Structure 1
Amino acid sequence: MRTDYLFTSESVSEGHPDKVADQISDSIVDLFLSKDPEARIACETLTTTQLVVLAGEIRCKGVYEDGEWAPGAKEEIEATVRKTVKDIGYAQSGFHWERFEFINRLHGQSAHIAQGVDANANKDEGAGDQGIMFGYATDETPDLMPATLYYSHKILEKMAADRHSGAAPFLEPDAKSQVTLRYEGSLPVAATAVVVSTQHAPGYDEGEKEAELHAYVKRVVAEVIPPVLLRETEYFINPTGSFEIGGPDGDAGLTGRKIIVDTYGGAAPHGGGAFSGKDPTKVDRSAAYISRYLAKNVVAAGLATRCTIQLAYAIGVSKPLSLYVDTHETGTVGDDKIEAAILGLPKLGGLTPRAIRTHLGLNKPIYKPTAAYGHFGRKAEGDFFPWERTDLVDDLKAALG
């Protein structure tokens, strides 16, 4: 295992076109779950210049049942989509929350999928699809996330907060960040490069206004990244020059194209499935969340300083096909013992899709906040981000003696 190296992660803002699509898809998930906790949703979104298109498969009491839309349901969906875009801040000539064309192509869930997934008298609820899902945790940051991604997210979160508050009125919604750290002994010791590209108001690409924008970005970076890491940093701020045209007007957006931003910034494997737009019967989402929960609790319990967990499922089958733990030679006990401890905890219910949803309380409208600035490394508060809790620490310690 290498201990000295450079590593880089990126993040994108809530106004990035792919993230606009993710937030729209998850606003639909929340809308449906608020009406029917057992709703089935697979909502994909396309955004481009003055256009939003929804597509996918749904089933929801009070919205879409037996092939029919409930009265007013289509209008409520459109209102939800427009509010999501408005909240992000898009009121531009090329993409305006009030004026974009809206096309809804959501339709009923396949009966053949439903028969394999729904519980009945003869079987437990099956996984909504096959797939492999990964969870990861590392002690590099207080939130047990890779530092490169943690700082990339925090830079853009701060810039978005300043844009919304009016503290940085020259900022527009679309932005990207990237942080490169040098590691020595597996610990970050220096930020060698920081890249920030942000959409801006006219004129902020030259002269005094450009200097103001650059100075502002450097102040934000200094607030987010500890000064000890910034002694040799090279900055790349809007390196292409002007960035006035952005968001869906500058580049088409699609749900699920930023899965590495959503997870661990490349520091851990990803099974390939996206999260946004999917109800929690889809193990792409729920099993990825429980995998993070398990990995985080392993590290929080002091059983390792790094932990990767993989789960695998087959569509229509409730029992996971495999559980794999890798503590990257940092574990205080054997990885096989951690696997046995996890599978032996009654409260986890054998990690079936239903047990995951029950333990984490996932059948609730809690997903729109996940769709920007990462699904992991967030504060667990109330019903939101329950997979970030560390309430399994004592159980793991007791199980491992």
Structure 2
Amino acid sequence: MKTIELVGYGHPDRFADYISEKILIENLKKDQNAKVAAEVMVTRNVVFLGGEIFSKAKIDYQKLVYDAIERVYGQKWWPNYQKIKVINDINSQSPELIKIQKKEIVAADQGVIYGFYNQKRYERILMLYQIIDNLRDKFAIAPDWKLLFNQNLQELSISVCGIKKNKHNQIKLFLQDQFLKFNLKIDVIVNPKGEWLICGPLSDTGLTGRKLMIDTFGAGVSHGGGAFCGKDFSKVDKTGVLIASELAYKFAKAKKVKTALVELNYKIGDKIPKVIVRTYQNNKMDEFEYDDYKLSLNDWIKKSNVYNLDWSEIVLKGGVIFYLKDILK
């Protein structure tokens, strides 16, 4: 788990994630009992909205999309975006799924979900986002960027959009100086393919859930395969990651290990998952089933603050890490 990949919130896939979360948040603002599974595809001429929603809320989805584009790209990075077509094919959620949620929130689908804790990896991801924020304050780069950071090789490869080639060396020197503030001497490669001036959906198609590793803990950490974004809290692909990561943190502290991975198994309709714990120390893994977890999905949601947060803003910042960093202390 030595290499970290990140992409900016203007990356088309991350932008699709953002719209999906905006759909969730706008429905929950008007109906806290809303059940949402929103999928988005973004191209240069069309934004397609799909999925299933059960909600009393009345949402102007075209305005939601245009507001999202203005927030992330504006006219500078997506000229004349008001001319794009918004296709809304969101349907009502299956009445069979609605029925099982009437008494309390239970798992709306089956799933294998992983939570993870390693303080150093958390810190490195947050460090990289901070450095990119500093870069964007200094240079007028587009919100679409991508990087690979390998601490073993002491190397950062970063592609930034919107900057002419004659600025690349200035960016390299700036980033090297930023790493020195963290006592890291890093070789920086800027735009290995050369200039990149057309960003976001004008150059690539975006799809909800296609950056699911970046939304969570990055390459090298187990993932169940279910997307995090655009789903209400009955969807264990979302809530399960948060629950499992809290447990991973607790086991890491209790066992005095640096790394813990928690696997949750939910059947559709389950209140409480099966829990498997793996801890890692000195290249050794210890695995065991944890049968003492008794907190139902409904009760965890009640005790948490998940309904009080704007998850679209958390996605813009960088994903799950930006929720967990304030919880796991």
**1:336-391 deviation line (CA, Å, top 9, x unaligned):** 59x356x2xxxxxx23221221122323452102223432332xxxxxx3684147
Could you say which residue in structure 2 is the equivalent of 1:52? 47
TM-score normalised to structure 2 length: 0.89
Of residues 134, 152, 159, the one that matches 1:158 is 134
Could you tell me how far apart the structure 1 residues matched to 2:16 and 2:55 are?
21
Could you tell me how far apart the structure 2 residues matched to 1:218 and 1:281 are?
47
3-state SS of 2:275 partner: strand
CA contact (8 A) 1:83 1:97 kept: no
More divergent stretch after superposition (212-221 vs 26-35): 212-221
Could you tell me how far apart the structure 2 residues matched to 1:319 and 1:130 are?
12
* Pairwise CA distance, 1:89: 2.2
* Pairwise CA distance, 1:114: 1.8
Q: Aligned in 2, Cα 1:140/1:376: closer, same or farther, shift over 3 Å? A: same
Q: Which amino acid aligns with 1:200?
A: G
CA contact (8 A) 1:360 1:387 kept: no
* Pairwise CA distance, 1:26: 0.5
Q: Aligned in 2, Cα 1:98/1:225: closer, same or farther, shift over 3 Å? A: farther
CA contact (8 A) 1:325 1:336 kept: yes
Q: Aligned in 2, Cα 1:134/1:93: closer, same or farther, shift over 3 Å? A: closer
Could you say which residue in structure 2 is the equivalent of 1:21? 16
Q: Aligned in 2, Cα 1:7/1:103: closer, same or farther, shift over 3 Å? A: same
Q: Aligned in 2, Cα 1:328/1:318: closer, same or farther, shift over 3 Å? A: same
Could you say which residue in structure 2 is the equivalent of 1:355? 299
Could you tell me how far apart the structure 2 residues matched to 1:387 and 1:150 are?
9
Q: How does 1:106-125 map to 2 (within 5 A)?
A: 106-116=90-100, 118-120=101-103, 124-125=104-105
Could you tell me how far apart the structure 2 residues matched to 1:358 and 1:95 are?
43
* Pairwise CA distance, 1:237: 0.7
Q: Aligned in 2, Cα 1:365/1:97: closer, same or farther, shift over 3 Å? A: farther
Unpaired runs of at least 5, structure 1: 1-5, 64-72, 183-190, 344-349, 379-384, 392-401
Identical counterparts, % of pairs: 25
* Pairwise CA distance, 1:155: 3.4
* Pairwise CA distance, 1:7: 2.2
CA contact (8 A) 1:54 1:104 kept: yes
Could you tell me how far apart the structure 2 residues matched to 1:200 and 1:311 are?
42
Could you say which residue in structure 2 is the equivalent of 1:181? 151
Q: Aligned in 2, Cα 1:340/1:304: closer, same or farther, shift over 3 Å? A: farther
Q: Aligned in 2, Cα 1:80/1:298: closer, same or farther, shift over 3 Å? A: same
Aligned length: 327
TM-score normalised to structure 1 length: 0.74
CA contact (8 A) 1:25 1:45 kept: yes
Unpaired runs of at least 5, structure 2: none
Q: Which amino acid aligns with 1:389?
A: I
Q: Aligned in 2, Cα 1:220/1:18: closer, same or farther, shift over 3 Å? A: same
Alignment root-mean-square deviation, CA: 2.6
Could you tell me how far apart the structure 1 residues matched to 2:77 and 2:151 are?
38
CA contact (8 A) 1:39 1:60 kept: yes
Higher CA-based Rg: 1
Could you say which residue in structure 2 is the equivalent of 1:100? 84
Q: Aligned in 2, Cα 1:218/1:372: closer, same or farther, shift over 3 Å? A: farther
Q: How does 1:275-354 map to 2 (within 5 A)?
A: 275-300=228-253, 303-320=256-273, 322-329=274-281, 336=288, 339=290, 343=293, 350-354=294-298
Q: How does 1:184-199 map to 2 (within 5 A)?
A: 192-199=154-161
Q: Aligned in 2, Cα 1:33/1:193: closer, same or farther, shift over 3 Å? A: same
Could you say which residue in structure 2 is the equivalent of 1:168? 139
CA contact (8 A) 1:133 1:311 kept: yes
**1:237-268 deviation line (CA, Å, top 9, x unaligned):** 11111201121011100010001111111232
**1:282-310 deviation line (CA, Å, top 9, x unaligned):** 00000111111222243356732211111
